[in-house]
Amino acid sequence: MNLQDKTVVVTGVSSGIGAETARQLRAQGARVIGVDRNEPAISVEAFVQADLSSAEAIDAMVAQLPERIDALCNIAGVPGTAEAQLVARVNYLGLRHLVQRLTARLSPGGAIVNVASILGAEWPQRLEQHKALSQAASFAEGAAWLAQHPVAQEHCYQYFKEALIVWSMTQAQPMFLQHSVRMNCVAPGPVFTPILGDFVTMLGQERVQKDAHRMKRPAYADEIAAAIVWLCGDDSRWINGVNLPVDGGLASTYL
């Protein structure tokens, strides 16, 4: 893997998967620019404090980033216990907006990695809805579409992880053809991070207990980060438009 001297932007850098991704990238020689609402606990090349829930805040953050970067890791997110509109704005609309603003700055051969979830695996059941939403070109247009097609609170986290997977798949090949930039998703199952408790609450104790026998254990953040870092590097240069499960095989137990 060759990440020496590459510049990588990592959102959600202050904790969990984001912090571990930054650590592994730095160990590979990359320059990491961290983005988060909170100051990171690890050293990075630069840090930009930002709230990713609005287009205006994202634009202000982007103005502080270098003119040329080599990879973008979209790891920041809020759990499904947050209000549904906030989940939509951070986990989907804001992520899309950031990708749109940074695509032209990515070097040829660069990479974008979006963190989805095992809970997004049912995207084929709502494919036409997600494709319709993906055609809303801007943050504002996406918000307007969602105002007309509201998402229930109890399903919002799953819904927007599904939507993220579909949007990433539909955009990956045009981006690769036009900019020589790859875009992929990774889909973790439960992970030992600060929001694991929210994840369990979101699923409900009944489902957690029902599915406990299917899972060896939650993942550690470094196990998810390793896949993200690999997708940023030259070794994965012909991997594009995929949603990579990083869940210890958990998804396969539902077949």
User: What are the E-state strand segments in 41-89?
Assistant: 46-49, 69-74
Task: Provide the pLDDT confidence category of residue 163 given band limits of 50, 70 and 90.
Answer: very high
Report the range of poorest mean pLDDT among 25-29, 46-50, 209-213, 231-235: 209-213
Candidate list 92, 157, 159, 254, residue with the active-site label: 157
Query: H or E segment at 209?
Result: helix 205-211
Comparison of pLDDT for 201 and 176, the residue scoring more: 176
Q: What is the mean pLDDT of the segment spanning 18-33?
A: 97
What digits encode the pLDDT tens for the residues 132-145?
A: 999 999 999 999 99
Q: How far is Cα 49 from Cα 40, in angstroms, rounded to an integer?
A: 10
- 49-77 pLDDT, tens per residue? 999 999 999 999 999 999 999 999 999 99
Q: What is the pLDDT of residue 115?
A: 98
Residue 249's pLDDT is 87
Question: Coil, strand, or helix at residue 239?
Answer: coil
Q: Is 241 exposed, middle or buried (0-12, 13-18, 19+ CB in 10 A)?
A: middle
Q: What is the C-alpha separation between 214 and 53, in angstroms, rounded?
A: 35
Q: Is 92 a catalytic residue?
A: no
CA angle (112 as vertex; 31, 78 as ends), nearest 5: 95
Q: Is the pLDDT of residue 153 over 80?
A: yes
